[in-house]
Amino acid sequence: MTDGPRAGVDYPDTFGRFQSWFSSEAACRDYLTALRWPDGFTCPRCGSTSAWHTGAGLFMCASCKKQTSVTAGTLFDKTRTPLSTWFAAAWFITSQKNGVSALGLQRVLGLKSYETAWVWMHKFRRAMVPGDQLLSGTVELDETFVGGVTAMRPGRGSDKVGVMVAAEMVSPHKLGRVRLEPTPAGRLQLIDFAQRVIAPGSHVKTDGARELRRLSGLGYEHSYYTELGSREPAHVNLPGVHRVASLLKRWLSGTLHYGSSVEHLEFYLDEFTFRFNRRSSKSRGLLFYRLLSNAITAQPQPIGTLVAPRSDNDYLT
């Protein structure tokens, strides 16, 4: 028995196969239908599994007569753009190892405006959720800071934005999965973050911050080093989180060109995590499959939920 989705069966493994599979709107609708209702259609109103297709491509419930679109209540809710264009966007976003900027998406799809591409990117980021599988084994935990340079004011004393990082260490030189979240306020949030993303019983490694020592009483095996008393720098004692922090900063500058806003930092971190945790995938088509699977179960994201007035100071520069 094969575990998980299969290349060439559940998702296209090459661009040629992608073009062949999704050459029509009907093919795109059928694919989303299989993702949304793998065991067959279920009416969102009454739960009936009996329905027929209308001429407009909708499902008509045999019991309550409600008409339902496969995109209703999903990330594609009420879209007027052909699904084939959405599929092309999802393929391009996931086929690029380091991601793509809104400008790059606009150019490759020939979208009329940058604003449309920006909205699409943020819609898809809402579908790049990390999932609920907890990190385990040996996990390094620390906080990093992203944003511009503030002279003579390092770390939390600067204008930078805090990011909590948890990284599995498969071996001393090999990283596993990661989880990242913006830091709301203060290092005590690292305790709550650890309990949300790290499985009890795991070995958690941190620096010598006194407030983090309570982890040993919360079901974790906790070890730490005292930064002031250590002869080695932090990146040697906690190499995993520092490597992840370095890659994150490089990604924010190299792919997004510093165009990431503080307001949307949570979703940029989700995209980074989505990509990083699937970095060893042999098929980019599997990422396409995961993204569409998440998109078809995600809540609708009207433009009003994505865009808000902001000043120039709201960007990570």
Q: Is 266 helix (H, G, I), strand (E, B) or coil?
A: helix
Q: How far is the C-alpha of 247 from the C-alpha of 272, rounded, in Å?
A: 9
Mean pLDDT of 122-146: 94
On the question of pLDDT at 1 being above 50, the answer is no
Of 106, 130, 154, the residue that ends a domain is 130
Mean pLDDT of 303-311: 70
| Number of domains, the chain | 2
CATH code of the domain covering residue 253: 3.30.420.10
- Express each pLDDT in 7-49 by its tens digit: 999 999 999 999 999 999 999 999 999 999 999 999 999 999 9
**How confident is the model at residue 187, as a pLDDT?**
65
Which one has a higher pLDDT value, 169 or 309? 169
Q: Token pair of 92, please?
A: 């391009």
On the question of pLDDT at 78 being above 60, the answer is yes
On the question of pLDDT at 233 being above 70, the answer is no
Q: Of 130-139, 247-256, 259-268, which one has max mean pLDDT?
A: 130-139
**How confident is the model at residue 208, as a pLDDT?**
85
- Residue 23: CB atoms within 10 Å: 11
Burial 252-261 (b: 16+ CB within 10 A, else e): beebbeebbe
The answer to whether the beta carbons of residues 102 and 95 sit under 8 Å apart is no
Instruction: Report yes or no on whether pTM surpasses 0.85.
Output: yes
Q: Do residues 194 and 93 both lie within one domain? A: no
The answer to whether the beta carbons of residues 91 and 108 sit under 8 Å apart is no
Q: Is 194 exposed, middle or buried (0-12, 13-18, 19+ CB in 10 A)?
A: buried
Q: Do residues 104 and 153 both lie within one domain? A: no
Q: Token pair of 113, please?
A: 């405006």
- Express each pLDDT in 234-253 by its tens digit: 567 899 999 999 999 999 88
Given the structure tokens 């709201």, which residue do they identify?
314
Q: Answer yes or no: is 84 within a domain.
A: yes
151 — pLDDT class (breaks 50, 70, 90): very low
Which one has a higher pLDDT value, 225 or 58? 58
Q: Do residues 126 and 33 both lie within one domain? A: yes
Q: Kindly list the distances between the CA atom of residue 91 and the CA atoms of 15, 22, 73, 251, in Å, as whole numbers in the listed order.
A: 9, 11, 22, 20
Q: Kindly list the distances between the CA atom of residue 290 and the CA atoms of 90, 177, 178, 275, 317, in Å, as whole numbers in the listed order.
A: 10, 16, 17, 11, 31
- Residue 183: CB atoms within 10 Å: 18
Residue type, 46: C
On the question of pLDDT at 258 being above 60, the answer is no
Which one has a higher pLDDT value, 278 or 231? 278
Q: The domain containing residue 70 runs over which residues? A: 15-130
Mean pLDDT of 180-206: 91
Q: Do residues 121 and 144 both lie within one domain? A: no
Mean pLDDT of 151-172: 77
> Alpha helix (H) ranges present in the chain?
15-21, 25-36, 83-95, 102-109, 114-125, 189-197, 234-237, 239-254, 265-276, 284-295, 303-306
Residues 6+ apart with CB under 8 A from 186: none
Q: Answer yes or no: is 298 within a domain.
A: no
Mean pLDDT of 61-69: 96
